[in-house]
Amino acid sequence: MNRLDRYLFRQLSVTLVAVTVGLAALVWLTQSLRFIELVLDRGLSAAVFVELTGLLLPSFVAVILPITTFVVTLFTYVRLAGDRELVVMRAAGLSDWRLSRPALVLATLCTGLCLFLQLWLVPVSHSAFREWQYEIRNEMAAILVQEGVFSALGDDLTVYARRRDPDGNLRGIMVHDSRQPGAPVTIMAEEGRLVSTPRGPRVTLLNGVRQTLEQAPPGAANPAPRLSVLTFTENSLDLATSSRSQQDGGRNRDSRERFVDELLNPDPAENLPDRDIRKFRAEGHQRLASPFTALAFALVALATALGTAFRRHGDSRPAATGVALVVGLLALGLAGGNAAARNNAYIPLIWLQVALPAVGGLWVLLGSPGLPRRKPRLPTGAHDLADDDDDDDAALPEPRLS
């Protein structure tokens, strides 16, 4: 790179880092608010909170980096045009392709970083995040049971303890368990003890009552549900929130935890339904295509910023045009991804989001002969003045050397 390339690259890279870090921090802050209750109400340490939410950062950066690359490239070149710097550079004989070289180098680096994130770091970090969630909801359920609070250990299990002794024993316990569909259970006991087992935490309840609402069998004379009450001296209950995880001895991995080869070629031993297989294949193609949107969106920004004529009083149309184009491309990518998840025949729409702006941007930057370039307007009377100057110049005698 020469000095001019370094100057442009420095402005682009510094701005890109600042905007990406700020936007990622903002997204992290908004998304981490749903986990703040783990610290305030459930007794987890701040270090666990930071580590848990920090595992979400790679997926945030992978999504926002192509967008910030476009924004920084577009507004940097629009600002250079407004400050007349592009005029000076073009007057020095630099073409649009030559001016766009630093931005393309930066966009290529961003594409490589997005590939690293999407192909390796995002599935690894999201898998670690899900493991943390699973451990907090199951293995750490004993910590989540707070004194005098209705503690929700999941969507279908709620535990209340009037008092918790320093040794961990619970007094005045009520448990509402609706993990079995159609047969909710409510248990009240005088005291209980928390026990850790390889299959998750369990609570041993002493001196209580178990109430079960049983549905009437089909064809019964009285179809109304029947309340069954059982008094017990000792009873044991699992606090693991997922009955499926107890039966399978593990948890199901979602699409973001899987690598690209696992998404494109699911293991037949998992017996995944066809709906999940279609979704995984569409996700795999999105993982491969989304990093290249950083380069494609940068080409859109360069084409709109450099492909318009200079205006003395400034021009906001390049920025508005570029933003409108990228918003449309993002909408196309979202619609194509949803359609491909339902029917894999629409997978080419995912790649169209990359190919369409890349080809269009290159077509503009390389100076297509069919692309009209509007000349700058001259003030009223300037044409006559220019004609008069030409006539005067023509009337002047050619200088001779004596």
SS (H, E, C) 62-106: HHHHHHHHHHHHHHHHHHHHHCCHHHHHHHCCCCHHHHCHHHHHH
Exposed/middle/buried for 290, CB within 10 Å: 0-12, 13-18, 19+? buried
Spatial distance between the Cα atoms of 283 and 258, rounded to a whole number of angstroms: 10
Across the beta sheet with 157-164, what order do the strands follow?
A: 150-152, 157-164, 170-177, 185-197, 200-214, 226-238
Report, as ranges of residue numbers, the positions in the chain whose pLDDT lies below 50: 242-250, 368-379, 381-402
Tell me what pLDDT residue 65 has. Answer: 96
Q: Is the overall model pTM greater than 0.75, yes or no?
A: no
Tell me what pLDDT residue 181 has. Answer: 76
Tell me what pLDDT residue 15 has. Answer: 96
Question: Residues of 227-252 as b/e, b for ≥16 C-beta within 10 angstroms?
Answer: eeeeeeeebebbbbbbeebeeeeeee
Tell me what pLDDT residue 198 has. Answer: 62
Tell me what pLDDT residue 229 has. Answer: 87
What sign results for the dihedral spanned by CA atoms 175, 176, 181, 182? positive
What separation in angstroms does the CA of 58 have from each of 27, 43, 273? 12, 27, 29
Tell me what pLDDT residue 245 has. Answer: 42
* Coil vs helix vs strand at 123: helix
Tell me what pLDDT residue 142 has. Answer: 56
Question: Residues of 169-184 as b/e, b for ≥16 C-beta within 10 angstroms?
Answer: ebebbebbbbbeeeeb
